[in-house]
């Protein structure tokens, strides 16, 4: 080959190779959907205004519109991974990359501690639990021998799912399923009755056990030793519960009382809200701010609009938001 031909080939390679690399890079970039990372605090909320839900963060006892403004439904604080909805679709955001939730219809979507998984139920000849790894958007195989009752489930820790149901051999109770080794364990057996509520925290599981005579017992299970203790038998309805500074708060209803915010202290149920506000929206749940104050949603009898209120350690109730047609707390893992 002549020197001139060698020079022409070198020039051609010099021009074509970068173009090929640029083309490959562009294709890879196009395949990745990028989403903004969020840093929101406990107490963050979705506020319905002007025909849509807007994201408001809660800091220093006040709400401020957050940018980027996304309809976030679940958020993990440690990883900043989250789930949000847009144009009637749901997306998982993991390390700044987003993937669409594969099923169009589902219920009770949650994100695991540390944000590694998401979970939800679909209707498939009964409710069926699905779990996806957020980084790969890959469905995890669950080889369970338990029929889960309703949507009574939560995350036990970052790799283990917690649920209530009945096993194939007829055992009624609370089970765990470890995604690392596909191991399913019974951690609490129920001889008679069923559960009406269940929630997991870092150290405990709280559940409302109901017998066939409709007697109700609020129980707490210590994760370190699986010891179960009765908290109270005075709760009629339970919608949400939080443990803060060794005190237990819940929204629901005590026997012979009305739906409100309550505190359990030494097995006694104490109502905390009476006239301000006149109504507590128990089904909206609870949140806790950075100072440890309990946040809840309520309204006045004469108003259709709702607002967010706080309850301090000394039981002082304060209004912390303006009024709007609807508010929803964002489910946040600490």
pLDDT in tens, 118-129: 999 998 878 899
Angle at 274 between CA 271 and CA 276, to 5 degrees: 130
Residue 32's pLDDT is what? 57
Maximal CA-CA distance, the chain: 101
The whole-model pTM stands at: 0.87
Residue 246's pLDDT is what? 82
Please give the C-alpha separations between residue 205 and each of 175, 176, 209, 326, in angstroms, as whole numbers: 12, 12, 12, 30
Residue 137's pLDDT is what? 87
Give CA 27 to chain center in angstroms.
Answer: 35
Residue 131's pLDDT is what? 97
Residue 211's pLDDT is what? 97
Residue 171's pLDDT is what? 98
pLDDT in tens, 216-263: 999 999 999 999 999 999 999 999 999 988 899 999 999 999 999 999
Residue 12's pLDDT is what? 43
Structure tokens at 184: 């399913």
CA atoms within a 13 Å half-sphere pointing along the CA-CB vector of 152: 24
All residue ranges of the chain with pLDDT < 50 are 1-31
Residue 94's pLDDT is what? 94
Residue 27's pLDDT is what? 38
CB distance 316 to 26 below 8 Å: no
What are residue 95's phi and psi, to 5 degrees?
A: 50, 40
Helix, strand, coil % in the chain, rounded to nearest 5: 10, 50, 40
Distance CA 260, CA 204 (A): 23
Residue 36's pLDDT is what? 86
DSSP string, 67-99: SS--EEEEEETTT--EEEEETTEEEEEETTEEE
In the chain the first and final C-alpha atoms are separated, in Å, by 69
Q: Which residues on neighbouring strands pair with residue 289, listed in sequence order? A: none
Structure tokens at 212: 């066939």
């Amino acid at each position: 080959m002549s020197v001139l031909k060698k020079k022409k080939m070198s020039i051609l390679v010099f021009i074509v190779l970068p173009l090929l690399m640029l083309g490959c890079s562009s294709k890879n970039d196009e395949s990745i959907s990028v989403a903004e990372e969020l840093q929101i605090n406990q107490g963050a909320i979705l506020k319905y205004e002007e025909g849509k839900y807007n994201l408001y963060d809660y800091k220093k006892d006040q709400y401020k519109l957050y940018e980027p403004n996304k309809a976030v439904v679940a958020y993990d604080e440690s990883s900043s991974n989250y789930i949000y909805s847009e144009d009637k679709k749901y997306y998982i955001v993991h390390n700044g990359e987003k993937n669409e939730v594969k099923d169009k219809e589902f219920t009770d979507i949650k994100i695991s501690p540390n944000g590694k998984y998401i979970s939800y139920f679909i209707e498939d000849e009964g409710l069926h639990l699905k779990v996806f790894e957020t980084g790969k958007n890959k469905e995890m195989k669950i080889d369970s021998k338990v029929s889960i009752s309703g949507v009574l489930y939560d995350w036990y820790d970052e790799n283990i799912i917690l649920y209530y149901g009945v096993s194939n051999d007829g055992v009624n109770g609370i089970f765990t399923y470890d995604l690392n080794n596909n191991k399913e364990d019974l951690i609490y057996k129920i001889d008679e009755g069923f559960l009406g509520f269940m929630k997991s925290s870092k150290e405990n599981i709280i559940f409302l056990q109901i017998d066939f005579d409709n007697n109700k017992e609020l129980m707490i299970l210590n994760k370190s030793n699986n010891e179960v203790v009765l908290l109270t038998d005075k709760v009629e309805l339970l919608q949400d519960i939080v443990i803060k500074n060794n005190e237990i708060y819940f929204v629901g209803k005590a026997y012979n009382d009305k739906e409100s915010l309550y505190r359990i202290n030494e097995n006694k149920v104490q109502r905390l809200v009476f006239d301000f506000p006149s109504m507590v929206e128990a089904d909206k749940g609870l949140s806790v701010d950075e100072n440890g104050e309990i946040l809840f949603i309520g309204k006045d009898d004469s108003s259709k609009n709702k607002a967010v209120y706080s309850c301090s350690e000394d039981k002082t109730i304060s209004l912390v938001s303006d009024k709007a047609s609807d508010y929803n707390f964002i489910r946040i893992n600490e």
